[in-house]
Amino acid sequence: MIDKIKAMMFKRDEPVPPEDKIPAAAAALLIESAVLDGEFDAAERETIAELLGERFALPAAEVASLIEEGEVAVADSVELYSITRTLKDGLDPEERLELMEMLWQVVYADGVVHDYEANLVRRVAGLLHVPDKEVGLARKNALQRLDIAPSPA
């Protein structure tokens, strides 16, 4: 699976079926958002595992593998643009909005939104062509799912 992520990100010779690219790219993006504050804690890891398993209907072993490979991809400094391009090309607008909600859930998983995390959400929204209004809706939905009261703007 790591080879699939590397092939996807670095355009190696081994072709990766399109349906395999989306979960790997989503995992790498969610992990990137989790590690930006300098920690990848258990709450963030658990949130990512639940989101990937639920969204892509994957068994726990495959989710664990995606997370492990995503960590390697993030540590290898995979470009955000490559990840988001894969997601933008492979997801319809509703799915991109769902991904933004997943991203917000990971950002809020540890209870603190770091400035770097908020910046990443804004950059990803732009790269995925998700309008600000919809990003705000995704944030609101994520807060409701996590049972967190929204902070004043």
- All domains of the chain, ordered by start, with CATH? 2-145 (1.10.3680.10)
DSSP H stretches of helix in 36-146: 42-56, 60-75, 80-90, 93-108, 115-127, 132-146
Predicted TM-score (pTM) of this structure: 0.83
Query: 32 and 74 in contact (C-beta within 8 Å)?
Result: yes
* 24, 5 contact by CB (below 8 A): yes
pLDDT tens for each residue of 46-85: 999 999 999 999 999 999 999 999 999 888 877 889 899 9
Question: Which tokens is 57 given?
Answer: 């209907």
What would the mean pLDDT of 83-108 be, rounded to a whole number?
Answer: 95
Q: How far apart are CA 90 and CA 148, in angstroms?
A: 31
Characterise 28 by phi-psi region: left (phi > 0), alpha (psi -120 to 50), beta (else): alpha
Per-residue pLDDT, 10 = 53
Per residue in 115-133, pLDDT (tens digit) is 999 999 999 999 999 999 9
Write down the pLDDT at residue 147: 86
Q: Is the pLDDT of residue 3 over 70?
A: no
Question: 76 or 27: whose pLDDT is higher?
Answer: 27
Alpha carbon distance, N-terminus to C-terminus of the chain: 41
Cα separation, 33 vs 27, whole angstroms: 10
pLDDT, position 129 = 96
Residue 132 has what pLDDT?
95
Radius of gyration in angstroms for the set of CA atoms belonging to the chain, rounded to a whole number = 14
